[in-house]
Copies of this chain bind each other. A is one copy, B any other.
């Protein structure tokens, strides 16, 4: 839906200004939808994000620093989010033997299984979600990548 209608604002001063608002609004909109999928599994978006990073590394460990680097929200507290995932038994954490300042974080079998269940649910949604064609999604992705420079 046209942003102007959605937030009832008549017009923006510039395309740039509309873009900023549009990205904030759409980001929050898609975050809300993601959260609805994740909630039944007891995960937040950032917890899910960390599990996926760890799946990408698997079977290698990741350090907390590596998690922070790759997280979508760099200012969230990776160490404490990892805490919660340890508590839920989705990941393990132990001091890195090569550098005892670091910790090695690894996703557990339980975490990998959880991701599979979630990804199935996401696929379901993806099918209903067809306001953009595949080539439009590609354009959108390219524009976002270019925007960030």
> Could you tell me which A residues sit within 8 Å of B by CB distance?
1-3, 6-10, 13-32, 34, 45, 53, 56, 69-75, 119, 122, 126, 129, 131-132, 134, 136-141, 143-149
Contacts and interface: CB of A to CB of B under 8 A. Distances in A.
Contact of A141 (B15, B69, B148): B15
B145 A143 contact: no
A147 B131 contact: yes
A17 B122 CA distance: 9
A70 B149 contact: no
B144 A15 contact: no
Contacts of A119: 13
Given A15-B134, A131-B146, A20 B34 contact: yes
Contact of A72 (B7, B45, B72): B7
Contacts of A132: 19, 143, 146-147
A88 to B, nearest CB: 22
10 contacts: A3-B144, A20-B34, A23-B144, A24-B27, A26-B147, A27-B30, A28-B72, A131-B146, A131-B148, A140-B147
A16 B72 contact: no
